[in-house]
Chains A and B, each alone.
Chain A
Amino acid sequence: MSLSEQQVQQIITRSHETGDYSALVELIPYARMIGMQVTRLGNEAFFTLPRQDINIGNPVLPALHGGVIAGFMEQSAMLHLMMFMNSEVFPKIIDFSVDYLRAGLYRDTYATCQVWRQGRRVGNVAITAWQTHSSEPIATARAHFKLD
């Protein structure tokens, strides 16, 4: 199942050219498994995690698994960096910190990212995830990525 670097490069390049990153998301098995999607609107990007049975943690509420919410946020941050840096490679995660503010119910979840600092070697990204309104996040997170 592993792809050559060249195949991946081609898809990344095409995504940057067209502004449609769905093929890139499809390329990442984890992103495909949790079912996330990306929409680019001008210079902004929105990430969506449609509700999906296998993403449930606590079945009684039911609620999404906190780890899936975190994984979605981490992947959103990584894609966001790639999109706006025109990066040809996957940034590598250094650290990730998430605060859970509300239960992530069994609903569609959205995320947006803010790059606070992008150096030559390291990027700092803040991520907000919400379900009903962006002013009522279910989780906020920040991550550092190695860029080179």
Chain B
Amino acid sequence: MSEIELRARRFLSVLRHCQHLQMTVERADEDGLVLRLPYSDQIVGNPVTGVIHGGAITTLMDTCCGISTVCYLPEFEICPTLDLRIDYMHPAEPGKPIFGFAECYRVTPTVIFTRGIAYQDDREQPIAHVVGTFMRMGKAVDPADLGKRIDQGDA
């Protein structure tokens, strides 16, 4: 497993809500990150159709865009979300996992611009398009050494 994928996995493993949703890393490399969100009854938004709630997709994509920063930064940095926008193309099909893909298309010393898609069977037919901007706080702003724990694997 590559260093990037290892860091992405450790990062995801400390996020409690993502663990509750049983999100996993599918792929992480220099080209971006893919996460997997399994279908479950608890994240249904419409009890009649069984369609997943937008909030679960937002959580998947916020996490995906946020963790995709480790694919581009040499060391772990805390990068809080500044903003996130999601456009829903069509509802997710019930019973199937949702995949999130995100990449950073511009990294500056202060902010990181990310974009991505959520999809099921076909990446060419996304459920949602996403853009998110993240703030770079630098390595210094990490009082509990979360970054060190993620870089060294103690998390």
Taking A28-B53, A57-B15, A95-B85 as contacts, is the C-beta distance between A65 and B59 under 8 angstroms?
Answer: yes
CB distance from A56 to the nearest CB of B (A): 4
Counting CB contacts under 8 A, is A4 at the interface?
Answer: yes
In the complex the two chains form, is A5's CB within 8 Å of B48's CB?
yes
Identify which of A13-21, A96-104, A112-120 touches chain B. A96-104
Measured CB to CB, the nearest residue on chain A to B20 is A54
Measured CB to CB, the nearest residue on chain B to A103 is B80
For chain B, the bracket of interface size reads 35 or more
In the complex the two chains form, is B18's CB within 8 Å of A75's CB?
no
A93's partner among B18, B82, B88, B144 (CB-CB below 8 A) is: B88
Counting CB contacts under 8 A, is B14 at the interface?
Answer: yes
Q: How many residues of A contact B (CB 8 A)?
A: 42
Please, how many angstroms separate the alpha-carbon atoms of A59 and B53 in the complex?
24
Taking A67-B60, A96-B85, A100-B81 as contacts, is the C-beta distance between A60 and B55 under 8 angstroms?
Answer: no
Q: Which residues of the partner chain B approach A131 to less than 8 Å between Cβ atoms?
A: none
Q: Which residues of the partner chain A approach B80 to less than 8 Å between Cβ atoms?
A: 66, 100, 103
In the complex the two chains form, is B144's CB within 8 Å of A60's CB?
yes
Identify which of B2-10, B26-34, B38-46, B112-120 touches chain A. B38-46
Please, how many angstroms separate the alpha-carbon atoms of A92 and B18 in the complex?
24
In the complex the two chains form, is A67's CB within 8 Å of B17's CB?
yes
Counting CB contacts under 8 A, is B63 at the interface?
Answer: yes
The 8 A-B residue pairs with the shortest CB-CB distance in the complex, in nearest-first order: A71-B55, A67-B59, A30-B53, A65-B17, A60-B144, A97-B85, A67-B62, A29-B44
Knowing that A30-B52, A65-B59 touch, tell me 7 more A-B residue pairs with CB under 8 angstroms: A2-B50, A3-B48, A29-B45, A58-B15, A70-B59, A71-B59, A95-B86
Interface residues of B (CB under 8 A from A): 14-18, 20, 41-50, 52-56, 58-63, 66, 80-88, 91, 143-144, 146
